[in-house]
């Protein structure tokens, strides 16, 4: 008799290659009670409903380190308190409404030339060698440069922000290690210490940047507090860097291993837009989001009790055959872009427009300039992480230019 599927957050092999487990969960146990304390939803329809249902709270569950009372005064827990993605209505509604007035598709549309300049700057040091690591040499630093430009961060300080952003991203994954929590708190505090004086300078002397716009936000006499403003700036870096970098490189890894798809994209640059949506659907960096039930619910004949953490498997929903034709096939011509890689409903990603434009400009430029682009390592290693799926590196070679 085959063993029942099991969601074990410690299972390294499942972290590295999760899609077989997802398929079993969807087919055999779509409302899965893991012995490790969480309930797990894996089907597209159920995940979509949960992302819109206010009974699924975005606040940290009682199992989260950020919910522990004795840690509430520490920098990481204070940051979580002010992050829009960890809030419910009415606080979430207020904060998202304010932020959406600045972080809009219109903001993204004005970025194209800046992004192109950043792309060319990052490619230049590798042009003569004909080789680079697309993840570390390109995809990780690109969003740091772009967001720094948006916020008005001086070029000489951007290496600091890159280091802090990488550490702060840990806030989106369960933290069980004391040293990791200390590292997170240290990075948050250093980030705050840097941004605080910058915000005060912008109050005195506004510039044409996003920090100045956030300071000026008003909504019926309401405004962002300093903590909310600084946290929102940190969030742009932390979420934008890791998520964008792995979205781009996960997709490029699939593309460069499919000669036919790569040839189609080179022949028809208009496919760049649907190609990036397929990057996100096929191998989304955001694999899991956590919720906490505010009251019991019944789903597929099972009752999930109040107060338990519920894991919504975005990566599984994006491969659900009930939603997608041939979901395990990478197809840059796929017309349907309604994936869950940027979330759904009230918690959909505010920065999705920026990420899409960054990716479209970057991908177009890469294909223009890097002729003969190919992977230089047959099987680059993946991160062992259920929450953020991504490669550890993506070395490529191309004709020098």
Please, what are the domains in the chain? 12-397 (1.10.630.10)
Q: pTM for the full model? A: 0.93
Backbone angles phi, psi at 383, to 5 degrees: -65, 145
Look up residue 147 and give its two tokens. Answer: 């967001």
CA-angle at 380, arms to 374 and 382, nearest 5°: 135
Q: Which of 139, 193, 135 is nearest to 164 (CA)?
A: 193
What pLDDT, on the 0 to 100 scale, is given for residue 220? 55
**Number of CB atoms found within 10 A of residue 249's CB:** 26
User: Dihedral angle at the C-alpha atoms of 382, 292, 62, 173, nearest 10 degrees?
Assistant: 20
pLDDT for position 270: 95
Residue 221 is predicted with a pLDDT of 59
Contacts of 40 (CB under 8 A, 6+ apart): 7, 25, 31, 32, 33, 34, 310, 311, 313
d(CA 103, CA 101): 6
Pairing outcome for strands 39-41 and 56-57: unpaired
Question: What confidence score (pLDDT) does residue 175 get?
Answer: 67
pLDDT tens for the chain, 401 residues: list them. 457 789 998 899 999 999 999 999 999 999 999 999 899 999 999 999 999 999 999 988 777 777 777 777 788 888 888 888 889 999 999 889 888 888 875 566 678 888 999 999 999 999 999 999 999 999 999 999 999 988 889 889 988 888 888 788 878 777 667 788 888 899 999 999 999 999 999 999 999 888 998 888 765 557 888 889 999 999 888 777 889 999 999 999 999 999 999 999 999 999 999 999 999 999 999 999 999 999 999 999 999 999 999 999 999 999 999 999 999 999 999 988 899 999 998 889 888 988 999 999 999 999 999 999 999 999 999 999 999 999 999 999 999 99
Q: Give the CB-side neighbour count of residue 156, counting CA atoms within 13 A.
A: 0
**Pair of tokens at residue 90:** 């009415």
Measured between alpha carbons, how far is 282 from 366 in angstroms, rounded to an integer?
20
């Amino acid at each position: 008799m085959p063993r029942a599927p099991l969601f074990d957050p410690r299972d390294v092999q499942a972290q590295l290659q999760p899609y077989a487990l997802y398929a079993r969960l969807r087919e055999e146990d779509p409302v899965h009670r893991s012995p490790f304390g969480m309930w797990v939803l894996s089907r597209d329809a159920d995940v979509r409903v949960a992302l819109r249902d206010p009974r699924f709270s975005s606040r940290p569950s009682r199992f989260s380190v950020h919910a522990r009372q004795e840690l509430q005064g520490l920098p990481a827990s204070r940051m979580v308190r002010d992050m829009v993605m960890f809030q419910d209505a009415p606080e979430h509604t207020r904060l998202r409404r304010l932020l959406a007035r600045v972080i809009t598709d219109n903001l993204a549309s004005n970025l194209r030339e800046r992004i192109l300049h950043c792309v060319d700057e990052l490619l230049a040091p590798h042009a003569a060698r004909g080789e680079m690591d697309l993840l570390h040499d390109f995809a990780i630093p690109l969003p740091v440069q772009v967001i720094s430009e948006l916020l008005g961060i001086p070029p000489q300080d951007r290496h600091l922000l890159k280091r802090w952003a990488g550490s702060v991203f840990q806030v989106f994954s369960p933290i069980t290690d004391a040293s990791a929590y200390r590292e997170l708190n240290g990075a948050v505090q250093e980030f705050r210490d840097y941004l605080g004086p910058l915000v005060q300078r912008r109050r005195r002397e506004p510039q044409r940047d996003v920090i100045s716009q956030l300071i000026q936000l008003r909504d019926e006499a309401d405004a962002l507090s300093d903590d909310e403003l600084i946290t929102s700036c940190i969030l742009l870096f932390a979420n934008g860097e890791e998520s964008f970098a792995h979205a781009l490189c996960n997709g490029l890894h699939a593309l460069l291993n499919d000669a036919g798809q790569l040839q189609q994209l080179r022949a028809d640059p208009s496919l760049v837009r649907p190609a990036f949506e397929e990057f996100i659907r096929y191998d989304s960096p955001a694999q899991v989001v956590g919720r906490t039930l505010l009251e019991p619910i019944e789903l597929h004949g099972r009752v999930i009790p109040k107060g338990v953490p519920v894991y919504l498997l975005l990566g599984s929903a994006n491969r659900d055959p009930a939603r997608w034709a041939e979901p395990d096939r990478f197809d840059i011509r796929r017309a349907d872009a309604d994936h869950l890689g940027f979330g759904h409903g009230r918690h959909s990603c505010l920065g999705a427009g920026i990420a899409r434009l960054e990716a479209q400009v970057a991908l177009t430029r890469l294909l223009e300039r890097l002729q003969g682009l190919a992977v230089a390592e047959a099987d680059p290693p993946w991160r062992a992480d259920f929450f953020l799926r991504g490669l550890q590196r993506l070395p490529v070679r191309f004709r020098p230019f």
